[in-house]
Amino acid sequence: MRLFRRLLPHPILTLLLTLTWVLLTSTWTLNSLVFGFLLGLLIPFLTQPYWPQQMRLKNPLMIIEYILIVLYDIVVANLVVARIVVFKPNAKRQPAWVAVPLDLLTPEAITVLAGTITMTPGTVSADVSAEGHALLVHCLDAPDPNAVRDEIKQRYERRLKEIFE
């Protein structure tokens, strides 16, 4: 079991890398599958020092729900932000920094949350606090910064907590 952990530090990453390679080559042959699997063995093994602890997924099925919600939010937020950029004068726009206290503990979950915040237009995650207990988020136009903080916590962080922890 320990040998298995040494050779395969991140089984999920191995699976993802194999799938990525097969999709990249776009040919469903044994050749690409085997080479993808070799990459999937080699890359997690070589990058193990930078990612020491094992990732756990408690609720993998909820990832699908999460992706759908984020995609929907991206479309809606794009329209909102496009309207702000084109029609709202700079003087009336209220950019704001928001500190989001985190309930998430694992680095993987915090990374996904920060990435989600950046990809949904209107908010960019700019920094994490020294010990990783808060995220610094910049809002393009936030008359009420507390509402932004609550939405991030309610909509994304709650679901990520169910997926990862």
Partner 1 sequence: MFFEYLIAGFLVMAGLFGFVGSFGLLKLNDPMSRLHAPTKATTLGVGGVLLASMLHGVVVEGHLSLHELMITLFLFLTAPVTALFIAKVHIHRHETKTSLPKAGEDGIWATHNVTETKEAPAEDQQQG
Positions touching partner 1 (CB under 8 A) are: 20, 23-24, 26, 74-75, 78, 81-82, 85-86, 90, 93, 95, 97-99, 101-102, 114-115, 118-119, 121-122, 124-134, 136, 138, 140
CB 132 within 8 A of CB 110: yes
Task: Write down the least CB distance from residue 139 to partner 1, Å.
Answer: 9
Q: Which is nearer to partner 1, 137 or 164 (CB)?
A: 137
124: nearest Cα among 133, 134, 110, 114 = 114
SS3 assignment, position 100:
strand
CA angle centred on 91, ends 86 and 96, rounded to 5°: 90
**CB of 3 or CB of 26, closer to partner 1:** 26
* Residues 21, 40 contacting (CB under 8 angstroms): yes
Q: Is the Cβ of residue 1 or residue 155 nearer to partner 1 in the bound state?
A: 155
- Give the shortest CB-138-to-partner 1 separation in angstroms: 5
